[in-house]
């Protein structure tokens, strides 16, 4: 009997070891992906639609260069000329084949970085923008902290496996991409299929074609992204896609079938979710507090990706300050008089500040359709603004 138990235990241990050793397909909400870590995020709201091991720290290879690119762009030095150092020209791995002493515009280096994944470009950018390689790495980690990338540490600007202290997560890389896509220059470069740049040492121009096959060949809704690969990190990929006004971000890390992983995630989300305007900007009417009715407004609309079922589970609760006697004089009424709290199935998904006064002419006159009225509650006596 004991022998049988021992034999069964050995079999279980072997199975567990095999599962740990060989990558398995992860499943989330009906989607199969080859990636060990993956995430699909709504770019506008930041809602996570799908995720698999999204917070696990992993090597990330060249998707590191998203951070390098946005720092270069934000430096305000894109028009400046960079003299390529010997250190940059000698960087191993994927390369633009820059030469020591070559002069090239910083903007062109960013294009080469994003389209062709030039490691030499990454070092040249780091030395120019950060003043030194180490200075730029410090900037990368400062920006990561600013964005909220809590499980990320950068030790180089390119993603090569030169240290063990260079890692991130699928979630953090989605946060970074969401931040970067707010920059028009980054969005343009990330979505460029081909770029031509002058070569100061030869009689011909550089012509760089984007390695992101989702953008150039495979998926018509792709708007940008960055590829990556090292022996230790395996295939990594960040992409963005837009369909009918719905903007999404996909990240996969250690994904043998990353192109299809991204397409499957995108198609599933585009089919199931629709960006839904829960609160429009403009005047709030139909309130059950006469003092505020048609005298308060919301500056920014609140839009959130929802399934048809979820649209029936949204609730908006309005909390307003209790009017005071001295408010008979309109100038004494505070600018901020309340908050609109938005819930999905009981969980808060957002808030909007309520302002007193006349909204701008650009605002819409009604803040919600008749179908939303039953979801509003006015609660008086709020002591704080939320």
Structure tokens at 379: 């609660």
pLDDT for 142 beyond 80: yes
Structure tokens at 127: 């030395």
Among candidates 311, 261, 320, 239, which has minimal Cα distance to 287? 320
- Residue 330 has a pLDDT of 74
Which has more pLDDT, 286 or 148? 148
292-296, 324-328, 335-339: least confidently modelled range: 324-328
Q: Is 150 helix (H, G, I), strand (E, B) or coil?
A: coil
Specify the DSSP element, H or E, that contains 282.
strand 282-284
* Segment 46-93, tens digit of pLDDT: 999 999 999 999 999 999 999 999 999 999 999 999 999 999 999 999
pLDDT over 90 for what percent of the chain?
76
- Residue 132 has a pLDDT of 98
CA distances from 367 to 164, 208, 340, 364 (A): 52, 48, 12, 7
- Residue 16 has a pLDDT of 41
Contact call for residues 178 and 41 (beta carbons, < 8 A) = yes
pLDDT for 381 beyond 80: no
Query: Binding site for substrate: what residues are annotated?
Result: 226
- Residue 366 has a pLDDT of 33
Q: Is 158 helix (H, G, I), strand (E, B) or coil?
A: coil
Among candidates 320, 313, 323, which has minimal Cα distance to 298? 320
pLDDT for 245 beyond 70: yes
- Residue 110 has a pLDDT of 98
What is the pLDDT averaged over residues 365-370? 33
What is the pLDDT averaged over residues 101-129? 98
All structural domains of the chain, each given as residue ranges with its CATH number in brackets, are 23-272 (3.40.710.10), 276-379 (2.30.140.30)
What is the pLDDT averaged over residues 120-145? 98
What is the pLDDT averaged over residues 30-40? 93
At residue 22 the predicted structure's pLDDT band, cuts being 50, 70 and 90, is very low
At residue 29 the predicted structure's pLDDT band, cuts being 50, 70 and 90, is low
DSSP H helix total and E strand total for the chain: 11, 19
- Residue 288 has a pLDDT of 78
pLDDT for 328 beyond 80: no
At residue 107 the predicted structure's pLDDT band, cuts being 50, 70 and 90, is very high
* Segment 274-302, tens digit of pLDDT: 999 999 999 988 787 888 888 899 999 99
Specify the DSSP element, H or E, that contains 263.
helix 258-272
Q: Is 125 helix (H, G, I), strand (E, B) or coil?
A: helix
7-21, 230-244, 284-298: least confidently modelled range: 7-21
Crossing angle for the helix pair 119-129 and 133-147, to the nearest 10 degrees: 90
* Segment 169-196, tens digit of pLDDT: 999 999 999 999 999 999 999 999 999 9
Among candidates 43, 101, 1, which has minimal Cα distance to 305? 43
Active site residues: 62, 65, 117
The pTM of the full predicted model, rounded to 2 decimals, is: 0.84
Enumerate residues 6+ apart whose C-beta is below 8 A from 352: 279, 298, 299, 300, 302, 339, 340, 342
Burial 180-209 (b: 16+ CB within 10 A, else e): bbeeebbeebbbbeebebebeeeeeebebe
Specify the DSSP element, H or E, that contains 241.
strand 234-243
- Residue 140 has a pLDDT of 98
């Amino acid at each position: 009997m004991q022998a049988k138990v021992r034999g069964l235990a050995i079999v279980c241990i072997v199975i567990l070891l095999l599962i740990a050793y060989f990558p398995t397909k992860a499943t989330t909400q009906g989607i199969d992906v080859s990636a060990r870590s993956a995430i699909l995020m709504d770019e506008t709201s930041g809602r996570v639609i799908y995720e698999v091991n999204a917070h696990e720290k992993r090597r990330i290879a060249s998707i590191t260069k998203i951070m390098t690119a946005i720092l270069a762009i934000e430096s305000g030095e894109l028009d400046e000329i960079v003299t390529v150092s010997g250190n940059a020209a000698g960087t191993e791995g994927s390369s633009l084949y820059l030469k020591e002493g070559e002069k090239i515009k910083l903007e062109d280096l960013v294009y080469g970085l994003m389209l062709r994944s030039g490691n030499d470009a990454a070092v040249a950018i780091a030395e120019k923008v950060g003043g030194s390689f180490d200075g730029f790495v410090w900037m990368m980690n400062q920006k990561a902290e600013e964005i909220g990338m809590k499980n990320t540490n950068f030790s180089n600007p390119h993603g090569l496996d030169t240290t063990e202290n260079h890692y991130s997560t699928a979630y953090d890389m989605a946060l970074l991409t969401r931040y970067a896509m707010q920059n028009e220059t980054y969005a343009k470069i990330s979505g460029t299929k081909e770029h031509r740049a002058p070569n100061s040492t030869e009689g011909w121009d550089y012509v760089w074609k984007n390695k992101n096959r989702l953008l150039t060949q495979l998926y018509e809704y792709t708007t940008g992204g960055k590829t990556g690969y090292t022996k230790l990190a395996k295939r990594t990929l960040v992409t963005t896609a837009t369909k009918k006004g719905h903007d999404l971000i996909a990240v996969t890390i250690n994904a043998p079938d990353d192109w299809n992983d991204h397409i499957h995630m995108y198609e599933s989300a585009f089919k199931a979710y629709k960006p839904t305007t829960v609160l429009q900007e403009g005047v709030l009417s139909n309130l059950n507090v006469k003092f505020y009715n048609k005298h308060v407004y919301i500056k920014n609309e609140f839009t959130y990706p929802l399934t048809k079922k979820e649209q029936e589970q949204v609730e908006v609760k309005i909390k307003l300050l209790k009017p005071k006697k001295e408010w008979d004089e309109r100038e004494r009424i505070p600018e901020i008089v309340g908050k609109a709290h938005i819930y999905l199935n009981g969980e808060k998904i957002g808030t909007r500040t309520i302002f007193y006064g006349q909204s701008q002419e650009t605002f819409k006159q009604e803040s919600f359709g008749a179908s939303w009225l039953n979801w509003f509650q006015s609660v008086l006596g709020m002591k704080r603004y939320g």
